[in-house]
Amino acid sequence: MKIISTFWAVTFSFFAVIILSQSCANPGAGPGGGDRDSIPPVIIAMHPEPNQTNFIENEISITFDEYIVLDNLSNKLVISPPLAEKPTIKTKGKTVFVKITEDLIPNRTYSIDFKDGVKDYNEGNKVESIRMLFSTYDYIDTLRIDGYLLDAFTLKPVENATATLYTIDEDSVFSTMRPDFIAKVDEKGYFLFDNLPQGKYKLYGLVDIDNNLLFSQVTEQIAYIDSFIVPDAEYINKPDTLFENGDTLISVGYTNYSPEPVFGLLFSEYQYIQYLSSSARVSADKILLTFNESVSDSFQFNLINQANDSNWNYAEFGLNRDSISIWITDTTLIQNDSLYMRIAYTMNDTLFQPMTQIDTLKMFFSPKKKSKKEETSPEIETFIFSSNHKSSNFDLNTPVLIESESPLETFEDSLIHFRIAINDSTFETVDFTIEPLEGSLRKFKINYETIAETNYIISIDSAVIKTLSGISNLAFESKFKTQSTDYYGAAIFKVTGIEQEASIQLLKNSEDEEIIKSISLNSNQKSVVFDYLKPGKYIVKLVIDTNQNGKWDTGKIDEKIQPEAVYYFDKIINIKSNWELKENWVIEPEVVKVKELVDPESKKDEE
C-alpha cells in the first residue's frame, strides 16, 4: 500500500535538516579559544537518498559536515529485514560506509537504524538518531506496527530487547528461523516497524544474548502476541475553508495507522537446574549445605560408615529452601573430626529431564587449638539467645521473636519471665504463649496483648534450657518499649475489576521492591486495608494468581501460556503518621501500562 503523505513528510524532514545545517555553523574553538562545540554532525548527503526506490546496491554511505568517528556502531546498527551476516563498517573522513555482503531481498523496503553510533571527531557530540529507508522495488512500504517490550513481572523496559516479526505462524519459528523484520527498543522499551508491506504478522520480543536472532530457552527472555497482527493505514481528509480574495478550499489531513501500540511481556521460562553450591561443616555440631535454588521434597541425606540411629541430627531448611542446616545431636559424632555424608536430590540432565543426583561429601572440622591456660582451666560451653526487638519504639504489629543458635530440647512458657513495667519500680507478669515458627526447634514467637508506649522486660535464667547436644544457655534479658499508636498511618484500597484470585502487595519504594505486606484478594472483596504502616513512601502492586498456587508464575512459550498479569497502582503512596489514605483502584484486565509511577508529593512541590 502506498501512503503518499508519509513519503513527503519523511523527505521534507530530511531536507529541512540539511537547510538548517547550512544556516547554523559549528562554533568550534578558534585560535583565540571560544565556546566548546556542542552541535553534533549534520548529514549533508545519503546514498541511497531518503526513500529511494529500486535500490539494489550493496554499499550504503552517509556524509556529514565534519569529521566523524564511530561509537560501537557495529553493535548498535539495526538493519531490517535482518541480514544473514554482519555488514562491514568503515569511515573515511566525513563519511561512514556500510558494505553489505549479501544480495538484498527483492520487493522489500529496508530500514537502517544507526542509533547513536556516530559522533564528531573532536568533541564526541553524538548524532542521536539516524534512520534510512529505501526499497528494492518501485515504492516504499509504510505500514507500521509499534509498541513496547516490558519485563512481565516489573513492567519496566528491558535493555537491548529486540522486537521481531514473522510472516508465518509455526510453533518453533522463533527458535529456528531468522525473522522477516526486526526493531530495537529505546530506553522506554518502545519499538517501531514503519516499513512493512501489506500482510499479517506474528510479533515476538527477544533478549538476544547470543546475537543470533533465535530464542534459546535457557538463557533468554521472550515475549509473544497470541494472534496475528494486520497493520493498516487510512488517510483522513479534513477539508478547511480559507477566505482570501474569495473562497479557497484547501485540504489538511493525516494518516491514521492501526493497530494501537502493542505490548509484549518478556519472561524467562523456568528451568529447574538444581546443583549443590557449597558444603561446609561450620562447627563441630553443624553442617551447612547451600543449593542454587529451592530443594525439592525428594532431598535425602545420611552418614556413611557410622553406627548411628535415626535421631543423630536435626535439620532445618532456610527461608527459600535453598539451604539446609544440619545439627549433629550425637555427642560421639560431634567429637569425630571427619564425617562422610551422602546426599541425594533431584536435578535435570542436559535434556532437562529429571534425574537423581548423588554426591558424597567429606565433612571435616578442625577445632581451634587451645592455649595452655585454656587446657588447664577449660570453659564450660554455653549458647546465647537473641531477639528481634530494639530498646525503644518497637513496632506494635511486629511479634517478639526469640532465637537460639542450635535446636533446643524444650522451650516452655514456665522458663521465660515476661513482665510489664507499671512504673520505675513496679512490674507485673504478662500473660503470653510461645509458638514455634514453622515447627522450628530454634525460632519461637511470643504472643501477647500489645499495649502502645509501654515498657516490657523478657528474661531467661541461665542453665535452664539445653540444646539437643546438651549445651546450656547463658542468662538472657531484654528490655523494650512499644511504639505509640499515632505514629502509624494506614492505606485502604477499594479494588474493582478483579475476576480471579490475586494478591495485592505493599512494596518498598526502591528498585528491589521488597515486599512489606501481601494480602490475598478475590473478586468478592471490595477493599484491602494496610494498617500499622510506618511513615514513608510505598509502591502498591497487584499480582494475578491464575493457577491459585500463591505465587507469580512465568509463561511457557511452547504451551502458549502467558505469564501471570501484574498491575501497579499509578501513584507512589505517601503514608503519614496518624493518617488514613483511601484510594479507588480500577483494574483494566486488557490494559498493560509501562511502570511510570507518579509521586503526588513531588508533583505538588513542583506546582
CA 91 vs CA 98, 121, 126, 138, 157: distances in Å = 9, 11, 15, 30, 33
Q: Which three cell numbers stand for residue 19?
A: 537547510
Rounded (5°) CA angle 229-230-235: 135
Instruction: Establish if 256 belongs to a structural domain.
Output: no
Residues 500 and 582 in one domain: yes
Residues 219 and 282 in one domain: no
CA 480 vs CA 427, 445, 486: distances in Å = 14, 16, 18
Which residues are within 8 A (CB) of 404 and not within 5 positions of it... i.e. 6 or more apart? 383, 384, 385, 386, 442, 465, 467, 473
Which residues are within 8 A (CB) of 207 and not within 5 positions of it... i.e. 6 or more apart? 158, 160, 161, 162, 220, 221, 222, 266
Instruction: Establish if 376 belongs to a structural domain.
Output: no
Beta strand spans in 138-246 (E): 143-151, 161-166, 181-184, 190-196, 202-207, 222-224, 232-243
What CATH number did the domain enclosing 551 receive? 2.60.40.1120
Please choose, from the candidates 275, 327, 328, 278, the residue with its C-alpha nearest in 3D space to the C-alpha of residue 299. 275
**Residue 294 and residue 300: Cα distance in Å, rounded?**
14
Tell how strand 95-99 and strand 78-80 pair up: unpaired
Domain boundary among 364, 390, 414: 364
What CATH number did the domain enclosing 334 receive? 2.60.40
**Residue 188 and residue 147: Cα distance in Å, rounded?**
10
What CATH number did the domain enclosing 442 receive? 2.60.40.3710
Q: Which amino acid is at 354?
A: P
Domain boundary among 454, 486, 518: 486
Domain boundary among 266, 287, 322: 266
**Residue 106 and residue 316: Cα distance in Å, rounded?**
66
Residues 553 and 463 in one domain: no
Q: Residue 379: its pLDDT value, please? A: 65
Residue 386: count of CB within 10 angstroms of its CB:
11
Report CA torsion sign: 282, 287, 292, 294.
negative
Confirm if 133 and 6 have CB atoms less than 8 A apart: no
Residues 17 and 104 in one domain: yes
**Residue 280 and residue 541: Cα distance in Å, rounded?**
39
Helix %, strand %, coil % of the chain (to 5): 10, 45, 45
Q: What are φ and ψ of residue 175, in 5° steps? A: -115, -5
> How many domains is the chain partitioned into structurally?
5
> SS in 3 state form for 256-285?
EEECCCEEEEEECCCCCCCCEEEEEEEECC
Strand partners, 243: 247
Q: Which three cell numbers stand for residue 508?
A: 518498598
**Residue 57 and residue 375: Cα distance in Å, rounded?**
89
> SS in 3 state form for 44-63?
EEEECCCCECCCCCCEEEEE
Residue 42: count of CB within 10 angstroms of its CB:
17
What CATH number did the domain enclosing 120 receive? 2.60.40.1220
436 upstream amide cis, omega within 30 of 0: no
Give residue 117's domain range.
4-135
Residues 27 and 122 in one domain: yes
Report CA torsion sign: 74, 78, 80, 82.
positive
Residues 119 and 178 in one domain: no
Whole-prediction pTM value?
Answer: 0.80
Residues 321-332 as b or e (16 or more Cβ within 10 Å = b): ebbbbbbbbbee
Residues 201 and 226 in one domain: yes
Instruction: Establish if 56 belongs to a structural domain.
Output: yes
Residues 509 and 600 in one domain: yes
Instruction: Establish if 183 belongs to a structural domain.
Output: yes
Residues 66 and 54 in one domain: yes
Q: Which amino acid is at 493?
A: F
Residues 481 and 493 in one domain: no
Instruction: Establish if 250 belongs to a structural domain.
Output: no
Residues 120 and 209 in one domain: no
**Residue 397 and residue 483: Cα distance in Å, rounded?**
10
Q: Which three cell numbers stand for residue 503?
A: 494478591
Confirm if 295 and 317 have CB atoms less than 8 A apart: yes
**Residue 587 and residue 495: Cα distance in Å, rounded?**
7
SS3 329: coil
Task: Calculate the dihedral angle through the C-alpha atoms of 193, 196, 200, 205, rounding to the nearest 10 degrees.
Answer: -20
535 upstream amide cis, omega within 30 of 0: no
Q: What are φ and ψ of residue 350, in 5° steps? A: -65, -20
Residue 387 burial by Cβ neighbours in a 10 Å radius (0-12, 13-18, 19+)? middle
Instruction: Establish if 62 belongs to a structural domain.
Output: yes
Q: Residue 374: its pLDDT value, please? A: 56
Q: Residue 604: its pLDDT value, please? A: 54
Q: Which three cell numbers stand for residue 568?
A: 501497579
Instruction: Establish if 241 belongs to a structural domain.
Output: no
Q: Residue 425: its pLDDT value, please? A: 80
Tell how strand 286-291 and strand 536-544 pair up: unpaired
**Residue 529 and residue 231: Cα distance in Å, rounded?**
45
Q: Which amino acid is at 424?
A: D
SS3 288: strand
Instruction: Establish if 196 belongs to a structural domain.
Output: yes
pLDDT, tens digit (0-9, with 9 covering 90-100), for 270-319: 777 778 999 999 999 999 999 988 887 778 999 987 765 668 899 999 88
What CATH number did the domain enclosing 220 receive? 2.60.40.10
**What is the number of residues in the chain?**
607
Residues 160 and 105 in one domain: no
Residue 551: count of CB within 10 angstroms of its CB:
9
Tell how strand 232-243 and strand 190-196 pair up: unpaired
Q: What are φ and ψ of residue 375, in 5° steps? A: -70, -35
Average pLDDT, 10 consecutive residues per value, the chain (607 residues): 36 37 40 65 95 96 95 93 94 95 95 93 88 94 96 93 93 90 94 95 94 84 94 82 56 83 92 84 93 84 76 88 92 90 83 82 81 60 88 87 93 92 87 90 93 94 93 93 95 91 94 92 85 96 91 91 94 95 91 80 54
How many helices (H) and strands (E) the chain has is answered by 6, 43
